[in-house]
Amino acid sequence: MDMFKKNPSLPVFIAVLVIFTLAVTFLSEAYGAGAISTSFVKTLGKTLCLALVAIAMDLVWGYTGILSLGHFAFFGLGGYMIGMWLMYARTKIIVLESLANAPLPPTASEISDAIGTQIFGVVGSSEFPLVWYFAHSFWAQIALVVLVPGLLALVFGWLAFRSRVTGVYLSILTQAMTLALSLYLFQNDSGLRGNNGLSGLQNLPGVDGISQDYISIWFFWASAFALLLTYLIAAFIVSGKFGSVIRGIRDDEARVRFLGYSVEGFKLFVFTLTAVIAAIGGALYYPQAGIINPAEIAPIASIYLAVWVAIGGRGRIYGAVIGAAFVSLVSTWFTGGQAPDVNLGFYTIKWVDWWLVLLGLSFVLVTLFAPKGIGGLFDLISGRLSPNRHGVPLGPDKGSLREEEAEK
Amino acid sequence: MIGRLFSACLMLLTCALPVQAQERTIQDVLQEHRVEIETSSRKTIAPAIDAIASSGLPAAQTVLEKWQNKDMWQRKADGLFFYATPADGGTYTLFDFDSGETVGVFEKGDLDQLKPNSGIRAMIGAALVQFQLNDPDPVRRREALLAIQRDGEASHLAPLRAAIETETDPEIKQLKEVTERLLTISFDKDDAARVEAIESFRGSITLDARAALNPLLSTSLAYAPPEDANIAEHVHSRFDGRHMPEGVTRSEAVALLQKHGVLGAIPDEQSIHDALVAHMVNDQVGGIQRQDLGSPDARYKAYDALVAEGLVPARISEYDVSETLAYSPLALVYDERSKAVTDAAKVTLSSISRAVAFNQFLDLSLDGLSLASIYFLAAIGLAITFGVMGVINMAHGEFIMMGAYTGYVVQQIVPDYTVSILLAIPLAFAVTFAAGVAMERLIIRWLYNRPLETLLATFGVSIALQQIAKNIFGTQARPLTSPGWLDGALTFNDVVSISYIRIAIFVLALIFLGVFLFIMKKTRLGLETRAVTQNPRMAASMGINPDKVNMLTFGLGSGIAGVAGVAIGLYAKVTSELGQDYIVQSFMTVVVGGVGNIWGTLLGAGLIGFLQKGIEWFNPSNTLAAQTYMIIFIIIFIQFRPKGIIALKGRAAGD
C-alpha cells in the first residue's frame, strides 16, 4: 500500500487512536470502572471532533497553502443542520406528549403549529421558516449536513479561485464570509433563533430511557470512527499524485499552472472536500456540546483553528490532530479554573484571566521559533536530517512552507 | 404702518381703561356673575368666564389664573371674592384682586374655596390663552404657542387670530401665523379657509404640519356608505379575491359584513374544534369516534353532521367569503366630511412626502459620509502598514483600542475634557507608535515576505492585547466623554441634522488624509518608504537603511491607528472588543479601495459607508442584516475588481 509507505505514521496513529478509544471506554461510567466522568467523556469526544476539523484545515492550509479563515463556519453550519433535526424531533415528542390529553386527537397542522410555537417562541414567532422545510426528516438533514456547507464552499471557492484571489486576500475574504454568516445568524429573523441558537441538542429523540453516560460514549465512538476515516482519507489524498500536485500549488502555484494542471479545479476540490469534512465534524460535535449559537462561528473561531494547526505543525496530518487535541484540552484545563494560581507576591496570576495572553504569546513564539510546531519534535526522535538550504522557503508562493517547517 | 396704527389704537385703549376702571372693578364683574360662579356648573359658567375675560381689566388674568388653580376664595360674610395664601394655624391671608393688597387674615370657617371641576378649568384655560398670547414676556408667549401646537383646541383659534396683529416680535409673529394655520386646518368651520391653510404647507417638512394633515386623511371602513359620504375608495373595485386593499384587513371587512348581517358566523378551525368537543357524547360526535378526529377531513365530516342536526352554524368556504367581500358595497370613507379638504390634504401631503424623502436622502448621505469617515479613520493606519508595506497586522484593531483606552486614562487624570482630548491625541500616537515599533522589531521583521505567518503571529498579539485590556479595564464599557462644545447637533431642519462629533470625525479624517499625503509625498521618510517598498535591495544600495525605514513606517501606521482610536472612542463605547469590531471592515476598506493607494482607501471607505447606510435605509431596524449584505456585496465586488477600485499598474503592482 502506497499510502502506508508514504505515511509511516499511519499505523502508529491508528494504534494510538484504538488504544485511546478502548481505554476511555473501559474507564467510562457506562461501560467500565467509572474513573472518567461523563462530562469528561464528552470533552474528549468533542476534542476528537476538533481534531477532525483540524485535519481538514491542515489539508487546505498545510498542504494546499490556502489559509482559509472560514472552515469553522462550515463546522458550525454542519452543527446547525443536525441541530435542526434534533430540536425538531425532540420538541415533537414533547408536544405529542402534551397534546395526548387534549379532547380531540391533534391534526398534523396543530402539531406543527405547537412545535413552531415551542421552538420559535423565543424570537417572537411561531411559523416555521423555509429553512426548516426538511427538519422533520433525519435523513434529509443528514444530507443537508453535507450539502449546505459543501455547496457554500463550492460557490464561494469557485468565485474566489476563478478570479485568482490568493494569499492574504483570500484569507481576508474567507474571514469576511464567516463574519457575514455569523452576523446573519445573529438576526432573530434568520430563521435559526438568532443569538439564542439551537439548544437541548444533547437529548437524542427516541432514546429517553438511556442516560447521558451511554449517549456520551456512543458519540465518543462515532467521533473516534469519523476521525479515523478522515485521517485515512487525508493520508490517501496526500500520498498519491494528487497530494504532489496540491503541495506543488502551495509552493509554486504559477509553475503548476504552467505544467498544465487546472490549479483552480484542484483548489476547489480540496476547499469543498475539507468544508464537507468540517461540517461532519460539526454535526458530531454539537450534539455533544448540547448548544450551538452564532457566536460559535464568529471569525475568531476559525482563526483558533489555524492556531491549533500551526501549533501542532502544519503540513503533517498527525500534527493537526496533536495541535487541536493539545491546545483545546490545555485551554479547557486553564479556563475551567483547574490550573493553580501563580502568586508573584505583588500580583496573583489567575489563569482564567491570563490564559489567552499566554496562548497568544506562545502562538507568536511558535510562529517565530518553532514553525514546525509540536510535530517537529518527532523529527528530532527519528533524527532525520535534510540538506541545509539556509532557511529559504520551499517555494515563492505566500502559502509555501519555510525550509524549517518542511517534513523531510 | 398698520402695526403702528394698531399700537396707537392700543395706547388709546389703555388710556381709556382707567376711566372705565374707576367705575367698574373686577369685583363688580365677579359679583354680577356671583350665582354662576357659586353654582360652578359647566353648563352655566360660560357667560361668567366670558365676562371676566372680556372685561378688559388688568386683574382679569390674575382672577382666571387663581380660579383655575383653586386659589380663589369667597368670604361668607359678604360674598366677595379674593385670592388667598395659607397662613399659620389653618388661617388664610386674603388679597384683593384689583389692588393686590392684603385684606386680612381669616379663619377657614369664614371662607368658601371655589373648586372648579376639570371641565370648567379647561374653559378657564382656553380663556387664559388670549392673555398668555399677549403676555409682555416673549418667552411666555413662545411657550404658550408651543403648548397650543402640541395640544390645540378649537377655542384657541379666536384668541390666537386676535393676537397675531398685535405681535411685535417678528419671530414669534411667524410662529403665531404657523400655529394659526395649523389650528385652522384642524378646527376652522369654513372649508375654504382650511383648504387655503392646507395648501400653504405645500413642500414644508415640519413635523407639526405632517401631524396636522395626517389625521385629515384617516379613514374607516363602511358598509354601503351614504350618498354624501366622502369616499376615499371603493374597496370591492380593488379586491382581487385574496388580498385586501392597503389599509383594510380581511377580518375587519368580514366583521363589518357580519355586523350588517350579510355574512353569518364563519366557523374557523378553533370553533369547529370547540363545537366538536362540546357535542361529544360517549366519545362520539357526528357519528365519528373520538380517536378518528385527528385529521381535518374527519373533523369537517363530523361538524357537517352536527350542522345537519341544526346544532351549529354551517361552514362557509373561503371562496364564498371572498365572493361576498368582492360584491359588497364596502368603501373606505374619510372621517373628514369635506372632499375639498381631503383632496387638498392629499395633494399637500404628497408634496410634503416628496420634500421629506429628498431631505431624508440628504440626511442619509450625511450619515453615510460620517460612517465613511469612521471607516476611513480606522483604515488609514492599515493603508500604511498593509497598503504600503504589505504587512498584515491583525493587531491593528487592538492599536485602535489602545488609543481609545489612552484617551480614557488621560480623562481620569485631566478632568477638563477639552484639554484632555488635546493631550490624549499626541499621547495615543506616542503609545501606539511605541507598541508598533516594538512589534515590528520583535515579530514582523522576521516574517517579511511571509504574509500568512505574519497574519497568524499578529493575531496572537491581538488576542493577548485584548485579554490584557480586559484584565486591566474590566469587561464593561468605559466612557470617553467628548468636550462640551462637541455636544449637540448641527440641525438644518426637522429631518436633516448631524452631530458635531461626527463632523469632528469627518474633519479629523480629512486632516489625516492631508497628513498621510504630506508624509508620503513631501518628506524624506515618505520617499524612503516608497523606495523600500518598491525595491528594498536597490533602496539599500542607495544608502537607505530599510530596517529603520520599515520600523518607522510601521510605527507611523500604528500611531495613526491610536489617534483614530481616540476619535472612535468619542463616538462608540470603549471596550476591549472595540478594535475587533473594526478590523474586518478596515481590511475590506483597504482591499476594496485597492491596496497601496490612499485615494483607493478613501473611495473604499466611501463605498462601504454609503452602501451600508443605503442598505440600512431599506430595513432600518436591522443593522446586522445591512452588514451581512454589505459583506456579501464586497465579496461579489472583488470578483469583478480583484485589485480594488484603484489598482496599481505596472511595476508598482509588485507582480
DSSP letter assigned to residue A105: P
| Sign of the four-CA dihedral A75, A78, A84, A87 | negative
DSSP-assigned states of every residue in B474-501: -SSPBP-PPPGGG-SEEESSSS-EEEHH
- C-beta atoms of B471 and A354 within 8 A: yes
Q: What pLDDT is recorded for position B23?
A: 65
- The answer to whether B324 and B263 are in contact (CB under 8 A) is yes
The beta-carbon neighbor of B635 closest among A107, A164, A177 is: A177
Whether residue B239 lies inside any domain: the answer is yes
Query: A154-167 as b/e, with b when 16 or more CB fall inside 10 Å?
Result: bebbbebbebebbb
Q: Are residues B277 and B160 in the same domain?
A: no
The beta-carbon neighbor of B277 closest among A104, A159, A364 is: A104
**Do the strands B288-289 and B231-234 form a parallel or antiparallel pair, or are they unpaired?**
unpaired
Least confidently predicted of A199-203, A390-394, A398-402, A404-408: A404-408
Decide if pLDDT at B409 tops 70: yes
Give the residue from B334, B356, B386 where a domain finishes: B334
Least confidently predicted of A151-160, A243-252, A351-360: A351-360
Q: Which domain holds residue B110?
A: 2-133
Q: Are residues B288 and B405 in the same domain?
A: no
Q: Are residues B205 and B241 in the same domain?
A: no
pLDDT band at A389 (very low <50, low <70, confident <90, very high): low
DSSP letter assigned to residue B33: T
Mutate: best of B281, B288, B628, partner A, most A CBs <10 A = B628
Task: Please give the average per-residue pLDDT across A233-247, as a whole number.
Answer: 92
B386 or B639: which leads in pLDDT: B386
Contacts of B292 in chain A (CB under 8 A): 105
Contacts of A186 in chain B (CB under 8 A): 624
Contacts of B471 in chain A (CB under 8 A): 353-354, 357
Q: What pLDDT is recorded for position B282?
A: 81
- C-beta atoms of A165 and B447 within 8 A: no
Q: Are residues B533 and B513 in the same domain?
A: yes
- C-beta atoms of B627 and A180 within 8 A: yes
- The answer to whether B395 and B403 are in contact (CB under 8 A) is no
Provide the grid cell at B72: 380663589
- C-beta atoms of B290 and A169 within 8 A: no
Q: Are residues B438 and B568 in the same domain?
A: yes
Q: What pLDDT is recorded for position B1?
A: 47
Contacts of B635 in chain A (CB under 8 A): 156, 159, 173, 176-177, 180
Q: Are residues B112 and B184 in the same domain?
A: no
Per DSSP, which regions of A165-268 are E strands?
198-199
Residue B343: other Cβ atoms inside 10 A: 14
Mutate: best of B391, B461, B463, partner A, most A CBs <10 A = B463
B478: closest CA of chain A, how far (Å): 19
pLDDT band at A14 (very low <50, low <70, confident <90, very high): very high
Q: What pLDDT is recorded for position B620?
A: 67
Whether residue B527 lies inside any domain: the answer is yes
Q: What pLDDT is recorded for position A110?
A: 84
d(CA B468, CA B465): 5
Mutate: best of A356, A366, A403, partner B, most B CBs <10 A = A356
- The answer to whether A80 and A292 are in contact (CB under 8 A) is yes
CB under 8 Å to B357, separation ≥6 — which residues?
A: none
- Bridge partners of B489, per DSSP, are B499
Q: Burial level of A177, CB count in 10 A (0-12/13-18/19+)? A: buried
B487: closest CA of chain A, how far (Å): 32
Q: Are residues B20 and B49 in the same domain?
A: yes
d(CA A163, CA B639): 6
The beta-carbon neighbor of B456 closest among A300, A367, A398 is: A367
- C-beta atoms of A67 and B452 within 8 A: yes
DSSP-assigned states of every residue in B551-586: HHHHHHHHHHHHHHHHHHHHHS-B-TTHHHHHHHHH
- Dump pLDDT digits (tens) for A70-104: 999 999 999 999 999 999 999 999 898 888 888 88
Q: What pLDDT is recorded for position B206?
A: 78
Name the domain count of chain B. 4
A38: closest CA of chain B, how far (Å): 31
Question: Which residue does chain A place closest to B464, by CA atoms?
Answer: A357
Spatial CA neighbour of B536 closest among B449, B596, B646, B453: B449
The beta-carbon neighbor of A368 closest among B299, B457, B625 is: B457
The beta-carbon neighbor of B452 closest among A184, A359, A399 is: A399
Please give the C-alpha separations between residue B371 and each of B498, B509, B582, B618, in angstroms, as whole numbers: 12, 11, 12, 17
pLDDT band at A278 (very low <50, low <70, confident <90, very high): very high
| Cell 491542515, residue located | A58
B393: closest CA of chain A, how far (Å): 11
Decide if pLDDT at A19 tops 90: yes
Spatial CA neighbour of A64 closest among A208, A222, A265: A265
Decide if pLDDT at B14 tops 70: no
Whether residue B191 lies inside any domain: the answer is yes
Residues in chain A: 408
Contacts of A359 in chain B (CB under 8 A): 460, 463-464
Give the residue from B133, B164, B199 where a domain finishes: B133
B650 or A270: which leads in pLDDT: A270
d(CA B375, CA A267): 33
Q: Are residues B480 and B521 in the same domain?
A: yes
Q: Are residues B306 and B402 in the same domain?
A: no
Contacts of A162 in chain B (CB under 8 A): 639
Q: Are residues B142 and B114 in the same domain?
A: no
The helix or strand, by DSSP H or E, that contains position B231, with its residue range, turns out to be: strand B231-234
The beta-carbon neighbor of A175 closest among B299, B584, B636 is: B584
Contacts of B468 in chain A (CB under 8 A): 357
pLDDT band at B19 (very low <50, low <70, confident <90, very high): very low
d(CA B512, CA B508): 6
Q: What pLDDT is recorded for position A270?
A: 96
Chain center to CA of B446: 53
Mean pLDDT for chain B overall:
82
- C-beta atoms of B628 and A173 within 8 A: no
Whether residue B643 lies inside any domain: the answer is no
A232: closest CA of chain B, how far (Å): 28
Spatial CA neighbour of B423 closest among B433, B434, B409: B409
Q: Are residues B432 and B564 in the same domain?
A: yes
- C-beta atoms of A171 and B634 within 8 A: no
Mutate: best of B631, B633, B640, partner A, most A CBs <10 A = B631
Question: Which residue does chain A place closest to B621, by CA atoms?
Answer: A187
The helix or strand, by DSSP H or E, that contains position B222, with its residue range, turns out to be: strand B219-223
d(CA A273, CA A279): 10
Give the residue from B217, B240, B260 where a domain finishes: B217
Contacts of B625 in chain A (CB under 8 A): 183-184, 187
- Dump pLDDT digits (tens) for A284-307: 999 999 999 999 998 889 988 998
- C-beta atoms of A187 and B624 within 8 A: yes
Decide if pLDDT at B574 tops 80: yes
Starting at the edge strand found earlier in the chain, the sheet holding B231-234 runs B219-223, B330-334, B231-234
Whether residue B359 lies inside any domain: the answer is no
Task: Please give the average per-residue pLDDT across B13-37, as a whole number.
Answer: 67
Decide if pLDDT at B17 tops 80: no
Q: What pLDDT is recorded for position B240?
A: 64
- The answer to whether B544 and B558 are in contact (CB under 8 A) is no
Question: Which residue does chain A place closest to B625, by CA atoms?
Answer: A184
Spatial CA neighbour of A65 closest among A304, A223, A252: A252
B455: closest CA of chain A, how far (Å): 8
- C-beta atoms of A105 and B294 within 8 A: yes
Contacts of B628 in chain A (CB under 8 A): 180-181, 183-184, 187
Question: Which residue does chain B place closest to A66, by CA atoms?
Answer: B452
Q: Are residues B239 and B370 in the same domain?
A: no
Beta-carbon contacts below 8 Å between A and B = 157
- C-beta atoms of A360 and B587 within 8 A: no
The beta-carbon neighbor of B635 closest among A167, A176, A367 is: A176
Least confidently predicted of A135-144, A232-241, A369-378: A369-378
Whether residue B609 lies inside any domain: the answer is no
- C-beta atoms of A354 and B467 within 8 A: yes
Contacts of B462 in chain A (CB under 8 A): 360
Q: What pLDDT is recorded for position A18?
A: 95
Whether residue B85 lies inside any domain: the answer is yes
Provide the grid cell at B282: 360517549
Contacts of B295 in chain A (CB under 8 A): 107-108
- Bridge partners of B124, per DSSP, are none
Question: Which residue does chain B place closest to A405, by CA atoms?
Answer: B453
CA angle, A24 then A30 then A35, to 5°: 50
Whether residue B597 lies inside any domain: the answer is no
